[in-house]
Structure 1
Amino acid sequence: MRQTVRAWGNALGRVRLLVRGKLPPFAVDAALTAALLFATAGLSHRDLVHSTSLVVFQWLLLVPLVWRRRAPLTVFGVLAAVAFLQWLTGAALPADVALLIAMYTVAAHSTRRRTLLAFAVLELGTLLAASTWATHGRTTQSFVALSAIVVATTVIGVNMRTRRAYLAALEDRAGRLERERDQRAQLAVAGERARIAREMHDIVTHNLSVMVALADGAVFAQERHPEKAVAAMRQVSGTGRQAITDMRRFLGVLRADEPDALRHPMPGIAQLEPLAEQVRAAGLPTRLSVGGDPDVANAAAQLTVYRLVQEALTNTLKHAPAGTRADVRVRCSPASVHVDITDDGPVTAAPAAPAGHGMAGMRERAAAYGGQLEAGPLPDGGWRVSAVLALVPRQDGAAPDGEGAVRAGDGAL
């Protein structure tokens, strides 16, 4: 029996969803009104044949239901007034069920205050009907029975309104979560693009700058010192191969089908000496000093240090005149890594606008570790780039020693 009732309930639910999805509410209410007119006319056929006033009351009670969802309280007020006139005439019709439908509509679509007002009016009508049409002194029993029907109708309407509001809140929350998910995905994609752009900029710009400097030196030395020209071109070849290796290493990490990606770890502090040798070969005398234990910094922090030094030396190689010397100092501690790159070139004014993305990339790299970045000319000549990377954040979430504010010179190195 329970399975049969459940099956009928599921079938009615599917029909209701199908009708609600295919037909507008006004058409559904019109169909409901027509069905009630037909049903109530059949129940009171004899009375309607002999009384025109009853026909009028039946139509006045049922036809307003067509607009019940557009103006719930107004329709209920009209039906209550018609029902009161009907009570004055002493007539009783099955069409009075329209009051219950109107009460349900008010409870399902109107505010709580309007629902209480409609409930009070309908309870008064219930009292009048029970006192007039109850037989054999059963006024109290009739009033209780009718009131129970009114209360049940109101509770069903209120529950439907609560359910509708709950579903609307769930839909709104799901929409907001979907939008936030899309925004997070867009931010992640933008961040990944920026990271790839920084890495590719550092790899390509540095190696091309070294190759250009070596090629210029080879052209200059090919007549007087051909052996130096040959050595320079070999350095160009080696630098090109190194650039290809770096790009394959970086792109291999991004590709899941690259089997050798893990065999080529990203560069770190240990690779600063080969970097300095490469820059020296390009014509920039460079002194490197590393203090402390580099292993206290993880691979990502060491890559940041390497890229900062690489970008600073590349800028010096491109912009500083011949004879300039560079000095790189790296100090590692359990809490932070200090990086300082200076050169002794002449005092130059910073350009009015950034010439590339190098400085922006250095800022972003330092900021990723709550870092403090300073870049600018020295008072006695030359240029200085200094960065502090925080390895251990403070317990209050702030960067230690005021780190996190990223400062830089007005122009790109």
Structure 2
Amino acid sequence: MTPHRSLDKWIRQNPHKVDLILGLGIWLVFGLLAGIMLGVSGNGWQLAILGTVQTLPLIWRRRHPGLAAGIIVLAHLIQVAVTDELLPSQIAVPITVYSLAAYGRRWQSFAGLAAGFVGALLASIRVGSWSAGSSPEGAVRNFIGLGLLVLVAWTFGDLARTRRLTLQTLEDRARRLEIEREQERALAAADERSHIAREMHDIVAHSLSVIITQSDGARYASEHDPGIARETLATISQTGRSSLREMRRLLGVLRSDEEASTRPLPALVDVPELLDATRMSGLAINFAQVGTARRELPAGAELTVYRAMQEALTNVLKHAGPEAAAGVTLRWDNRGLQLLVSDNGRGAGALGSSASGQGLRGMAERVALYEGDVEAGPTPGGGFRVSVFIPYTED
């Protein structure tokens, strides 16, 4: 970093130290100078005191601009009353007007401008009345010169105030944007975690349910019919491999691996394959499709229906009990697609959509993304029923 940039950075980071150095410098050079150079008439100590009061408050010009300006204005009024000399300490006047415009309140800024004009007028009249051969034209010229000096100082101070407030506004906006970006990042991460949890539950829960059911059947069948046991073990192997492929695909997406599997996500065309895989677990399934689609569903909505059917069939395998049968219906109408999955088992232990299970809760979250609804609960005649409805997307 270059020296002037380092100095500029230090000045911006230490404004009060800068004011202290500036105020002491002006006091030493222009305040005491009055007593040293003008003390030949015998009143040097009085002028030194007056110069000190006029310049030393500049130390607080930024921290307490109103108080510092009040002391300086009072000192200059005293000067107008006791002497007609122009003191070097009067350099504090434009600095005070600038400081009020830049750092004071708005009313203090205009009050400083008005006080500067009044002081210029009083100084012009005072100097003109004590000067030999003075004329009104000379007093007017003095007033115009001093007034322009006050006006220029106030203008630069007001511009500095506007720039400072603009920078503060931009910094506040940047800070708010950063906070909002962090919040959006956290919300996106939480949403992605929920999505991953739903995907992993749907994949693992269904596959493990099939594997457990087939394993139990193979254990009993191995004692009576080894052929059935071999078929059952083949089903377990196929289900495990399919689940492993799905897990690898999901983990590949999480790793952002360019070589991750590009296998498409399940959709409605994959429903027959899901039903066949579930039937291999020994569950009798009656499938029916009623009506035709009036318009296409988004790919995400088709995945939601697939996962909802997968979760409902998994619950049948886990909770319906032995020798249960399930019915699956896809019904298209003019409003959207409705999925019905019911069984004649034990009612899934009265499990409802408000229960704490991850499966039905994840199903409800998925469906809610497409403004659909889920109803799940035991049926009066025994068994369990899941109803999922997803409306068509508005064009």
Shift of 1:173: 0.5
**Residues 271-350 of structure 1 mapped to structure 2, 5 A cutoff:** 271-291=270-290, 292-293=292-293, 296-332=296-332, 336-347=336-347, 350=350
The normalised TM-score by structure 2 is 0.89
Whether the aligned pair in 1 keeps the contact of 2:35 and 2:46 (CA below 8 Å) is no
Instruction: Please provide the CA RMSD for this pair.
Output: 2.4
Compared CA separation, residues 163 and 225, structure 1 to 2 (3 A): same
Aligned equivalent of 1:358:
359
How big is each residue's C-alpha offset from its partner over 1:17-57, in whole Å with a ceiling of 9 and x where there is no partner? 33333xx4343223212322343355885313442221221
Q: 2-side partners of 1:173 and 1:71: how far apart?
A: 27
Task: Specify the code of the residue in structure 2 equivalent to 1:48.
Answer: G
Whether the aligned pair in 1 keeps the contact of 2:378 and 2:385 (CA below 8 Å) is yes
Q: 1-side partners of 2:216 and 2:71: how far apart?
A: 97
Whether the aligned pair in 1 keeps the contact of 2:319 and 2:348 (CA below 8 Å) is no
Aligned equivalent of 2:127:
133
**Residues 108-257 of structure 1 mapped to structure 2, 5 A cutoff:** 108-134=102-128, 136-137=134-135, 138-257=138-257
Unaligned runs of 5+ in 2: none
Q: 2-side partners of 1:277 and 1:88: how far apart?
A: 108
Tell me if 1:28 matches 2:28: no
- SS of the residue 1:384 aligns to: strand
Q: 1-side partners of 2:351 and 2:243: how far apart?
A: 29
Compared CA separation, residues 346 and 200, structure 1 to 2 (3 A): closer
Q: Percent identity?
A: 36
Structure 1 range deviating more: 277-286 or 311-320: 277-286
Unaligned runs of 5+ in 1: 1-9, 396-413
Aligned equivalent of 1:377:
378
Compared CA separation, residues 199 and 248, structure 1 to 2 (3 A): same
How big is each residue's C-alpha offset from its partner over 1:247-281, in whole Å with a ceiling of 9 and x where there is no partner? 2233334444343622x211111211121112112
Shift of 1:336: 2.1
Whether the aligned pair in 2 keeps the contact of 1:316 and 1:343 (CA below 8 Å) is yes
Compared CA separation, residues 391 and 248, structure 1 to 2 (3 A): farther
Q: 2-side partners of 1:194 and 1:72: how far apart?
A: 56
- SS of the residue 1:267 aligns to: coil
- SS of the residue 2:18 aligns to: helix
How big is each residue's C-alpha offset from its partner over 1:323-378, in whole Å with a ceiling of 9 and x where there is no partner? 21101111346852211111122456525983531011101110111111111111
Specify which of 3, 6, 10 is matched with residue 18 of structure 1: 10
Aligned equivalent of 2:48:
55
How big is each residue's C-alpha offset from its partner over 1:28-87, in whole Å with a ceiling of 9 and x where there is no partner? 223212322343355885313442221221112111211222221111111111111111
Compared CA separation, residues 313 and 72, structure 1 to 2 (3 A): same
Q: 1-side partners of 2:46 and 2:149: how far apart?
A: 27
Q: 2-side partners of 1:288 and 1:157: how far apart?
A: 81
- SS of the residue 2:223 aligns to: coil
Compared CA separation, residues 81 and 42, structure 1 to 2 (3 A): closer
Compared CA separation, residues 228 and 174, structure 1 to 2 (3 A): same
Specify which of 63, 73, 83 is matched with residue 80 of structure 1: 73
Structure 1 range deviating more: 310-319 or 81-90: 81-90
- SS of the residue 1:261 aligns to: coil
